[in-house]
Structure formats: structure tokens, C-alpha cells
Amino acid sequence: MTRSLLIAPQWIGDAVMTQPLLAQCQQRGERLTVAAMPWVAPIFEAMPECEEVLVLPFKRGALELYPRWSWAHALRGQFDRAYVCPNTFKSALLALWADIPTRLGYVGEMRRWLLTHSLANPSRRERPSMVAFYAALAGADHFEDGRSVERSPKLVVPPHWIQSALSSCKLTPQSYVVVAPGAEYGPAKRWPTGYFAQLCAGLDTTVVLLGSAKDQVVSQEIVNGVEALTHGASSSRPQILDLTGQTTLQQALALVAGARGLVSNDSGLMHVAAALGVAQVALFGSSSPLHTPPQSAIAQVLWLKTQEGYAGDVACSPCFKRTCPLGHFRCMNDLGVERVLPLVKAWGV
């Protein structure tokens, strides 16, 4: 049996989108171990194809050559093949220093000589979906044949994770909606805070706000906005449970798995919900659902480029910028609550 090590991406959404690659490799008889940074490791713990998760002890963005060499040296002789998902030089060094004979990855940061098999990065104009991008590391011939696994990522959250997370929040399954207002890449991917507040105020159910510590300011603005819209009247205000920055990723996975549905920007939790088969509304502006779609049959994507009845000009979308380069942010500002609220209410909330 081939012993394979997958060096994981560092973004939650990208981590989710490697699952079809793992499934394909397992189908070929490979035994899979994943090396992941701690903030994405729980994603791989929710992948049955992964037999072991090695948590990388390095700091975000740090080179740390000696710690990397020491960590990799301890793995010598344990693996036959490495899939290097990040495009960084230092991630490819891990595979080399671990003395793994077959090392596959994209060309990336001047690292062709570190890899035994390298793929050219696709151009920006011909971007495949990220699922296809990672699956190509297994070889297109294997992924396209009749034996290949389904392309859509799948996660399996252990029931005890869900029970523990819901119990700690005094929630029951399907009794709440998750709203994830953040987007790690930048504000150009975020639906306006005021719109999220209007959406929450229009729901007759518990709303759980999820995100990282970086999203706490945005979440507090939503809470304040709901209070202002309901004029402080608690009888007409939905229960808002703001857990932004207060959960581990494992707890966030469990809370999404137990929810009636999720509303989010193009973010990591969007991909989590899709992989868990949870109903969702995904809001796109500066990025493209052609490149990073929520791969779920029940996901509903709102992108003004494809919305019927929209007569405005969003030819600039997708720009893939962190902030709107033109200043009008029309791709999100023109995506009104009236387009989103009916889709969420259709979940019976």
C-alpha cells in the first residue's frame, strides 16, 4: 500500500476542497496522512479518508528553516508520496527533507527542483474550480475515469461533536440559522453589515453568528443594527447568539452541521456548509462562483452577474481584489436583502 502525505492548504475553504483529492487517492489504495496547520486541522479530522492528522507546529508566515528540517527529518522513511497543496517554497521543503521519493505539486515559488512531478499553474483567465485544481494532483486520467469519486467535497462531523457544541450553547438541532458575515480575504467579499442586520431582523428564529476573532467588530455592528431596526423591543427581535471569535473550528463545524441553514459570503464556512449538505445562501461579489462555488445541490448562489432582473453594471466583477478598486462596491451594494430574505424564509424559519 502506498503511504501518502498531503501537506494541506492554510485556508479553511481550500482545505475543504482537497477532499475529492483524498477520496481519489484512497480509492487507488493509498493510505493518507495529512500535515496541517492547527487552524485547519479539524477539517481533515472530518474526512474519513484521512487516517491521521499531523498538526504542524510552525508560526503563520514564518520561514523557520531549522524547525521545519527537524520536523521533516523525523518523518524520513514513513511515506512514499507527497501531495504539496500550498504553492510555497517552504511547504515543498518539508516533502524534500522528509525524503519522500515522489513529490507532487504546482510550480509555485521557484520550487520546481524540490518536486519530482510539477504542474503549471493555470492562468487567471482560465481558472478551474479549486476542487479540480487540487484533484489534478492525483492525475487527470484517474480523476476523469469511470471509477472516480464524486467531485463535490464531503465532510462527516462526528455526532458527539454536534451534541457537545449544541449542548454548550443550549441549542437543539435545526432550531437556528447560522450567519457568517466575515471573509478572510478582505472587505470586497463581504455583504454590507447593514444588510446582514436587516436579514437577521426579518427572521423569526435564533440566529447564530460565527466567524473568527477578526469578525467580532462586524458581528457587533450586526447585533447593534438589529436592535436599532427593532427599536430595542425584545418581543420583536430575534434571538442573536454572537459566538464570533469564541469557538474552535471543531465547534464551528458542529454548529454548522446542526443548523437549519447558513447565510455567508464566499468564505471557508460557505464551503463547510456545502460539504456537510446544509442548506445555504452564498453571496458573491468580487469573487466568482465559477472558481470557488459551494459544491452542493441545495446551495443557492446569489451573484449579480447572473441575477435575472438586475439592470445595473457589474462588468468589473469578479475583480478578485481585497477592496473595491472603483470605490462603488456595486457588486455587493446592489445585492439587496429582498433577494436574500425569501430564500432563507423558505427553510421554514
Q: Tell me which of 40-44, 164-168, 183-187, 239-243 is least confident.
A: 183-187
Q: Going along 202-279, which residue ranges are E strands?
A: 206-209, 240-242, 261-265
Q: Going along 69-205, which residue ranges are E strands?
A: 81-84, 102-106, 117-119, 176-180
pLDDT band at 183 (very low <50, low <70, confident <90, very high): confident
Q: What is the pLDDT of residues 87-136, one digit of tens each?
A: 999 999 999 999 999 999 999 888 999 999 999 988 766 777 889 899 99
> What pLDDT does residue 235 have?
60
Would you say the CATH fold of 160-345 matches that of 3-144?
yes
At CA 219, angle to CA 191 and CA 228, rounded to 5?
90
User: Taking Cα atoms as reference points, which of 292, 306, 285 lies closest to residue 189?
Assistant: 285
Question: Is 60 exceeded by the pLDDT of residue 140?
Answer: no
Q: How many CA atoms lie within 13 A of 4 on its CB side?
A: 26
Q: DSSP letters along 128-154, please? A: PPHHHHHHGGG-HHHHHSTTPPPSS--
> What pLDDT does residue 148 have?
40
User: Taking Cα atoms as reference points, which of 30, 33, 57, 29 lies closest to residue 47?
Assistant: 33
Question: Is 60 exceeded by the pLDDT of residue 167?
Answer: yes
Question: Is 70 exceeded by the pLDDT of residue 146?
Answer: no
Mean predicted confidence (pLDDT) in 29-50: 97
Domain spans, the chain: 3-144, 160-345
Q: For domain 3-144, say whether CATH 3.40.50.2000 is its number.
A: yes
pLDDT band at 232 (very low <50, low <70, confident <90, very high): low
Mean predicted confidence (pLDDT) in 77-86: 97
Query: Coil, strand or helix: which one is 244?
Result: coil
Q: What is the pLDDT of residues 245-303, one digit of tens each?
A: 999 999 999 999 999 999 999 999 999 999 999 999 999 999 999 888 899 999 999 99
Look at the domain 160-345 and name its fold. Rossmann fold (3.40.50)
